[in-house]
């Protein structure tokens, strides 16, 4: 059989890369749970009508059907392209068993039929947090959610050397109110064009507004001027006011964004800025919106994004407004792993290799390994009863730092230093830095 070729857009990691990913996921889980978010997992498929919501699918969805299904028995199912739309369905199904506000985190694979490139994949892992209310949801959650994600990313910066991040925030009420103040009726269409501002620049954005949406050049220029405002503090308010547009929704959006920026300035200074070009083209966002870039790696685009949505989940009688943010774990890690931004202290979990004197005494080695594992020391037993020199070389090739000789009371050898000393499996423990593999920033 010929060697199989990699399938583009579906990343697979070697053990060292997977250890980095697991370290990141462990930190995210801990951070989210410290803030009271409960974990859920939703099914991988959803009805296409649920994924399309209003009949239009803006993402390239993978359709799922049975290979031998009859033409009249083909379920209209698709793999979910994010975790927010499935959450809306899940909440509607289980609302009777939930206490609101409901706080959830979810770490799962998602699928999109995109053209594979750096930072964009067909299968990737996302980590989401959301807070949902029943009927209403207090505005302070719009501040809480991005700060929780920033806290998690700060921990990754401290623990494994992830580059610092900068979160760009805006408020859809601010943008929509501004557009309405200019007399624009189809504000969503303008938002979807402005969402391209960071990629195509102000001139091209203005041209699209004029050519595609048939706005006057004067109105289009005002929209572009708004998108160009960016500050690390509340100074954006004065810049917006100087544009001379008035609307009640604009005032509401300004007030909410000021509160978010000022609170973030006190809790995570320098990690969040007001950026009025942030639009988030999806139609369900209704308030605060967030996009996050990795400082020094801006070419990756946004690694974490989200916002407030008031009408995504509704059964006609009850609505479940929410606010959430998603971190593209694969989008963040895959390019950094390819550039060797991280190193792992060893490529296997095992801290100790228990040597085998001969096959007749393998049971003794198994007993030693069982005792060490019961005390939280990851270990494995040598696969063959070779000469000790060969067993030591095997441990060295695997990256295992210690080799155990003898029974429960035996000797332990640190093969890095060559030091060997008596030990008791009931008592011996490695240093904390040796017990598990560690992820470190590359020098």
pLDDT tens figures, 238-252: 999 999 999 999 999
Alpha-carbon distance of 54 to 88, in angstroms, equals 14
Question: Angle of helix 187-194 relative to helix 197-211, nearest 10 degrees?
Answer: 140
Binding residue per annotation — 285?
yes
> What's the pLDDT score for residue 307?
95
Q: Taking a C-beta distance cutoff of 8 angstroms, is the pair 406, 361 a contact?
A: no
* Element spanning 202, H or E: helix 197-211
> What's the pLDDT score for residue 54?
46
> What's the pLDDT score for residue 56?
45
> What's the pLDDT score for residue 68?
76
Binding residue per annotation — 334?
no
47: which strand partners?
77
CATH 3.40.50.800 maps onto the chain at 352-441
Binding residue per annotation — 112?
yes
Question: If DSSP codes are grouped into helix, strand and coil, which group holds residue 374?
Answer: helix
For the chain, what is the mean pLDDT? 92
Q: Taking a C-beta distance cutoff of 8 angstroms, is the pair 42, 86 a contact?
A: yes
Binding residue per annotation — 308?
no
Q: Which CATH architecture has domain 15-36+96-108+115-343?
A: 2-Layer Sandwich (3.30)
Distant-in-sequence, close-in-space partners of 206: CB < 8 Å, separation ≥ 6: 217, 220, 221, 223, 224
At 133, give phi and psi (nearest 5°). Answer: -110, 175
Give the confidence band of 76 by pLDDT, cuts at 50, 70, 90.
Answer: confident
> What's the pLDDT score for residue 175?
96
pLDDT tens column, 177-217: 999 999 999 999 999 999 999 889 999 999 999 999 999 99
The CATH code of domain 352-441 reads: 3.40.50.800
Binding residue per annotation — 290?
no
> What's the pLDDT score for residue 72?
66
Q: Taking a C-beta distance cutoff of 8 angstroms, is the pair 363, 376 a contact?
A: no
pTM: 0.91
The percent of residues in the chain predicted with pLDDT above 90, rounded, is 80
Binding residue per annotation — 82?
yes
Binding residue per annotation — 396?
no
Alpha-carbon distance of 369 to 354, in angstroms, equals 7
User: Which of 41-45, 84-88, 384-388, 398-402 is predicted with the least confidence, judged by mean pLDDT?
Assistant: 84-88
- In terms of C-beta density within 10 A (0-12 exposed, 13-18 middle, 19 or more buried), how is residue 420 classed? middle
């Amino acid at each position: 059989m010929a060697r199989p070729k990699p399938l583009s857009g579906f990343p697979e990691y070697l053990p060292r890369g997977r250890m980095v990913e697991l370290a990141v996921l462990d930190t995210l889980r801990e951070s989210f749970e410290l803030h009271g978010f409960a974990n859920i997992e939703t099914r991988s498929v959803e009805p296409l009508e649920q994924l399309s919501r209003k009949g239009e699918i803006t993402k390239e969805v993978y359709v799922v059907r049975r290979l031998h299904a009859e033409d009249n028995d083909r379920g209209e199912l698709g793999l979910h392209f994010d975790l927010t739309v499935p959450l809306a369905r899940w909440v509607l199904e289980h609302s009777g068993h939930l206490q609101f506000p409901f706080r959830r985190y979810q770490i799962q694979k998602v699928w999109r039929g995109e053209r594979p490139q750096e930072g964009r994949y067909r299968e990737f892992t996302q980590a989401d947090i959301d807070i949902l209310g029943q009927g209403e949801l207090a505005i302070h959650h719009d501040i809480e959610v991005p700060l929780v994600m920033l806290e998690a990313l700060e921990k990754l910066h401290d623990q494994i050397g992830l580059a610092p991040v900068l979160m760009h925030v805006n408020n859809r009420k601010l943008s929509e109110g501004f557009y309405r103040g200019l007399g624009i009726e189809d504000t969503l269409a303008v938002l979807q064009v402005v969402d391209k501002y960071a990629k195509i620049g102000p001139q091209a954005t203005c041209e699209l507004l004029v050519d595609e949406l048939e706005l006057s050049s004067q109105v289009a220029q005002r929209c572009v001027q708004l998108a160009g405002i960016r500050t690390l503090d509340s100074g954006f308010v004065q810049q917006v006011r100087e544009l001379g547009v008035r609307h009640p929704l604009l005032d509401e959006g300004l007030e909410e964004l000021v509160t978010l920026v000022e609170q973030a300035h006190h809790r995570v200074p320098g990690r969040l800025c007001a950026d009025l070009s942030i639009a988030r083209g999806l139609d369900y966002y209704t308030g605060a919106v967030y996009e996050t870039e990795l400082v020094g790696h801006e070419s990756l685009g946004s690694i974490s994004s989200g916002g407030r949505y008031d009408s995504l989940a509704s059964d006609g009688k009850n609505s479940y407004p929410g606010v959430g943010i998603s971190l593209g774990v694969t989008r963040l890690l895959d390019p950094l792993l390819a550039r060797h931004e991280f190193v792992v202290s060893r490529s296997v979990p095992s801290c100790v290799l228990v040597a085998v004197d001969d096959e007749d005494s393998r049971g003794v080695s198994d007993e030693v390994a069982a005792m060490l594992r019961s005390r939280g020391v990851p270990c494995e037993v040598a696969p063959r009863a070779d000469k000790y020199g060969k067993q030591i070389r095997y441990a060295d090739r695997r990256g295992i730092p210690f080799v155990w000789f003898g029974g429960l009371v035996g000797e332990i050898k640190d093969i890095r230093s060559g030091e060997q000393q008596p030990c008791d499996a009931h008592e011996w423990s490695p240093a904390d830095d040796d017990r598990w593999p560690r992820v470190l920033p590359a020098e």
